[in-house]
Structure 1
């Protein structure tokens, strides 16, 4: 009898690599406006972790503000493109191929962060994956640290795709305080979707 697998397998990396062999609809060539607002408000503090960083536009933007930044993504092709951008623009952001559900692996290597930025990663996860991601945050976010989630607004109450502030508040639970939650948009190359931007402070 095989050993039990505690969590379902993540989507295959070749799906994401295939997307990044071109220019995905979600890669708009700049950070989403919600994160520009966050930086302008002085709420980003380093070191910063950018989960599901894709080709690195958000990481590079934050690094240009003078913060130490690590971007992680499941796609090795996306990370390769992010590293190329960093070299071409001479921006000292760091990038690593890593599943955002494996944050304890970063903690085991001595990493900790004062800010974690999630641009449209959490909103695609399944229910158990969301809980696993939050458990991983507990291992790398410093006390007083900030986690910010931008995701498409959930359209159907019984759907898993998308987010609502109420669900985020419930899933994070004790030990986290919601600092802000507001309606915004998630921009794509050819469209925009209603979205929520939620910030949580760790106790």
Structure 2
């Protein structure tokens, strides 16, 4: 995430307790989509690493990044305990080009919806710098079907299409729900979990110094 001070304080406070989205397992929608995920994987905004570790256990060379030290330390601890070769590092998601690597697949579970409009555009550019042409982004974000209130911005389908209108192709968007910890005092969202969109988005543009990929959805 962009290293905005209020955002940093908010997420640090969430992890000081137990963040509602930190459910101790991968989000079910990523488990359902696992067969679509290929090759080297980047988990952007990985938190304590449950989604990353799920894919690492399936044999994907996996890198997870988050802008906070505490969840990355937890993710590294889990990787050691489970004997999984995932790599976790502290990094701003708007500076992914500094990784100096590219990936066949990327996942975003709950990061896209935190950005302002200018940072959203920067974020998509950052993703473009690391996802190979022909690679796919698997994106889960808050939906405008979730009633107004606490939590992140609600995102419309049109906003997803607009954000990825250049050098990407939105293959599918479907309605899902975030699974959260069952704590009524910490969950002001819809019963059954906050409404979300799950999108599969293919990178269609050229790689730096490369040629245009022939990718059709």
Structure 2 length-normalised TM: 0.82
Asked if residue 138 in structure 1 is aligned to residue 138 in structure 2, the reply is no
Given that 2:145 and 2:195 are in contact with CA atoms closer than 8 Å, whether structure 1 keeps it comes out as no
Match 1:16 to one of 11, 24, 41: 11
The corresponding residue for 1:194 is 195
Q: How far 1:154 sits from its partner (Å)?
A: 2.0
Given that 2:133 and 2:203 are in contact with CA atoms closer than 8 Å, whether structure 1 keeps it comes out as yes
Q: How far 1:23 sits from its partner (Å)?
A: 1.1
Match 1:76 to one of 69, 74, 79: 69
Match 1:36 to one of 19, 28, 31: 31
* Aligned CA distance change for structure 1 residues 67 and 8 (closer, same or farther; 3 Å): closer
Asked if residue 116 in structure 1 is aligned to residue 117 in structure 2, the reply is no
Q: How far 1:89 sits from its partner (Å)?
A: 0.9
Match 2:118 to one of 125, 128, 143: 128
* Aligned CA distance change for structure 1 residues 11 and 135 (closer, same or farther; 3 Å): farther
Match 1:102 to one of 91, 95, 99: 95
Q: How far 1:181 sits from its partner (Å)?
A: 0.6
The corresponding residue for 1:169 is 161
Structure 1 length-normalised TM: 0.87
Structure 1 stretches of 5 or more lacking a match? 1-6
